Structure 1
Amino acid sequence: MTRVVFLLLPRLHLLDLAGPAQVFSTAADFGCGYELSYVGEQEDVPTAQGLPIRAEAAWPELDPGDLVVVPGWRGPTFRDSPRLSRESASRLAAHHAAGGTVASVCAGADALGRAGLLDGRRCTTHHGLQDELARRYPKATVVRNVLFVVDDRVVTSAGIASGIDLALHLIAVRHGPGTAARVAREMVVYTRRNGDERQAGALRHRSHLSDVVHRVQDLIDSRFTEPLPLDGLATASGVSPRTLTRVFGEATGMTPLRYQQTLRVERAEHLIGRGATVESAARAVGFQDARMLRRLRSRTSGIRPVPAEDPA
């Protein structure tokens, strides 16, 4: 049995808590063996949405396989963060030191910082708090505009709903991507959103339950700018090229190559939207020149091909 402990601080956002709690509760319903606990600095914890929550004052005994999650709270700056006692900060640090995983949603990253868990690590938070987090914890590396970051069993996520993505990622790591997909499907949410926002556009192809296809997608997601021959993808997934093509098509409606091209085009569109030329965007995502990108943009997005002599 794995225990998931939520540390509740005043003015917490309900979805910061309810999203991850629902993920682990649903996983428990599927037999994954989770037990949820809620502890706080006080027994009656006010929330940002006005609904008070009852918490336990005493922490349960934790094992290295257990997880502690700190939901975020309402406050325009970290200066408005609720008080975190030395005992709670020590509990967070001690659990991590013992081999456990500690996570935060949104402003909850400040609690991890006060426990000394952000120093020397990559982390993230809500986009409106990223600059302040970087100033507050200069020894941390704040990764901007991503859904979540994992660094040495310290897991931080962006605002509000990204806590669901964080929890689904942890389910996928512990129980496989198929289980995470099953939980997401039960919750009627996108499954397996990646931490890096560059893959956000491909979410519509992640609602299946195939472990093999999720693992291949993970590989393509992380290396989509590189040549990825079908034989190599098949070897990495433990199936034949023919089987991979079949199951990938059944799960996503496309071939692995078409999926990789989709990621490339979506990333290129992101770069072009930020001022890059078509030529530079094409090379950045792995094309030798802009001709293929122009053809794919026209085919997938209904965008008229940009003439070769047009630098835009």
Structure 2
Amino acid sequence: MLTNVAALVYDGVAPFELGVLCETFALDRSDEGVPVLDFAVCGPVVGRVATSVGFSINVEHGLDRLAEADLVAIPAVPRSAVVLPGVMEALLAAYERGARILSVCSGAFVLGEAGLLDGRECTTHWRYTDELARRFPEALVVPEVLYVDSGQIITSAGTAAGIDASLHVWRQEYGAAVASTIARRMVVPPQRDGGQAQFVTRQVVDCQAETLGAVLAWAVENLSEPLDVDTMARQAHMSPRTFARRFRDETGTTPHAWVTAQRLQLAEEMLERTDNSIDQIAADVGFGNAATLRHHFTRARGVSPQVYRRQFAC
């Protein structure tokens, strides 16, 4: 269970990406039932550490703080910076004892230097994926996705994707209700699937009446109904081909993948908050039957609906 988080920083750290980690893991939200984590910022230098934008922060903990962390989080740092040996040793020691490691944006390059991306799917900001693949040829770089969960190692793209990956960790450790509570406080979507594209032509939240905002809202309210491309296209008053193309442009994913993700999210919430049978939940969220729900749920979450309910039921 996640209880202790250490953010690893050194000169040139990006303050916004560090702020993402502080916002998602350090704030006390116990008034809404969110567990309070032991969070600390640490680095090879105790004291003044320069950020990438002209001001400094005070780091109170050295690298020994990594030894007690369940999760080591690395915000964006200079890709060209030499990673000091002490950092490597502490990072590898944390990995060897089983700590999970999360990188945001260019923090993936630190993992590459440590050899932790070899033979592992990973990502970084879309501007740097080619460089990551070139510098670490043994890494299996997945370009343009929001984040990649490779088990013990989680790599994410730019700033917003760091939020998505952090919420993904919360969801895995404490369930959808806790992750949704944190997302609501941060005023961000409760879940964007890691395979979604990093950048889209137009953000869904900014959709005007003539775009897809209305049909997406309608789909969320009608997940129990058939939601194939033809049905959604009719609701949007478009041809199926035009709708599918517009959908990809505006959301960065396909209609089928988006609908499946919405159904899984609702299934998680119902597994946590209700005593409904798996068959009933499958019907309510639009999967039709328990077997189909189990297939999609286990593939996406790594556990069956029954196991998920035992772990996270309120």
Range into which the TM-score falls when normalised by the shorter chain: 0.5 to 0.7
C-alpha separation between the residues in 2 aligned to 1:32 and 1:265?
46
| Alignment correspondent of 2:302 | none
Larger gyration radius, structure 1 or structure 2: 1
Tell me, what secondary structure is at the counterpart of 1:37? strand
C-alpha separation between the residues in 1 aligned to 2:242 and 2:7?
36
C-alpha separation between the residues in 2 aligned to 1:70 and 1:23?
13
| Alignment correspondent of 1:233 | none
| Alignment correspondent of 2:116 | 117
1:252 is aligned to 2:220: yes
Tell me, what secondary structure is at the counterpart of 1:99? coil
Q: In structure 2, do the counterparts of structure 1 residues 257 and 116 end up closer, same or farther at CA, with 3 Å as the change threshold?
A: farther
1:17 is aligned to 2:18: yes
Q: TM-score, normalised by structure 1?
A: 0.64
Q: In structure 2, do the counterparts of structure 1 residues 133 and 61 end up closer, same or farther at CA, with 3 Å as the change threshold?
A: closer
Listed as ranges, the matches of 1:15-54 within 5 Å are 15-26=16-27, 29=30, 30-42=33-45, 43-54=47-58
Tell me, what secondary structure is at the counterpart of 1:62? helix
| CA offsets 1:183-217 (integer angstroms, 9 cap, x no match) | 0101111221111115989976xxxxxxxxxxxxx
C-alpha separation between the residues in 2 aligned to 1:117 and 1:125?
14
| Alignment correspondent of 1:269 | 245
**Stretch of structure 1 that moved more, 184-193 or 116-125:** 184-193
Tell me, what secondary structure is at the counterpart of 1:128? coil
| CA offsets 1:100-150 (integer angstroms, 9 cap, x no match) | 101101110010111110000000001110000000010011101111001
Tell me, what secondary structure is at the counterpart of 1:156? strand
After the TM superposition, list the runs of 4 or more consecutive aligned residues in structure 1 that deviate by more than 6 angstroms: 199-204, 263-267, 270-273, 281-285
C-alpha separation between the residues in 2 aligned to 1:134 and 1:117?
13
Tell me, what secondary structure is at the counterpart of 2:64? coil
- Counterpart amino acid of residue 21 in structure 1: C
1:99 is aligned to 2:98: yes
Tell me, what secondary structure is at the counterpart of 2:7? strand
**Stretch of structure 1 that moved more, 256-265 or 142-151:** 256-265
Q: TM-score, normalised by structure 2?
A: 0.64
| Alignment correspondent of 1:196 | 195
Q: In structure 2, do the counterparts of structure 1 residues 125 and 282 end up closer, same or farther at CA, with 3 Å as the change threshold?
A: closer
Give 1:3 shift: 1.2
Give 1:68 shift: 0.2
Tell me, what secondary structure is at the counterpart of 1:194? coil
1:60 is aligned to 2:65: yes
Counterpart among 70, 73, 78 of residue 69 in structure 1? 73
Tell me, what secondary structure is at the counterpart of 2:65? coil
Give 1:169 shift: 0.6
- Counterpart amino acid of residue 130 in structure 1: T
Q: In structure 2, do the counterparts of structure 1 residues 282 and 72 end up closer, same or farther at CA, with 3 Å as the change threshold?
A: closer
| CA offsets 1:221-256 (integer angstroms, 9 cap, x no match) | xxxxxxxxxxxxxxxxxxxxxxxxxxxx99932224
Identity of aligned residues (%): 32
The answer to whether the 8 A contact 2:7-2:21 is kept is no
C-alpha separation between the residues in 2 aligned to 1:147 and 1:268?
21
Listed as ranges, the matches of 1:1-312 within 5 Å are 2-26=3-27, 29=30, 30-42=33-45, 43-55=47-59, 56-60=61-65, 62-63=67-68, 66-73=70-77, 75=78, 78=79, 81-197=80-196, 252-257=220-225, 261=229, 268-269=244-245
**Structure 1 regions of 5+ residues with no counterpart?**
205-248, 274-280, 286-312
Q: In structure 2, do the counterparts of structure 1 residues 31 and 109 end up closer, same or farther at CA, with 3 Å as the change threshold?
A: same
C-alpha separation between the residues in 2 aligned to 1:267 and 1:69?
39
- Counterpart amino acid of residue 195 in structure 2: D
| CA offsets 1:280-305 (integer angstroms, 9 cap, x no match) | x99999xxxxxxxxxxxxxxxxxxxx
Q: In structure 2, do the counterparts of structure 1 residues 135 and 53 end up closer, same or farther at CA, with 3 Å as the change threshold?
A: same
Q: In structure 2, do the counterparts of structure 1 residues 91 and 256 end up closer, same or farther at CA, with 3 Å as the change threshold?
A: farther
CA RMSD, 1 decimal:
3.6
Q: In structure 2, do the counterparts of structure 1 residues 36 and 260 end up closer, same or farther at CA, with 3 Å as the change threshold?
A: farther
Give 1:268 shift: 3.2
Give 1:61 shift: 5.8
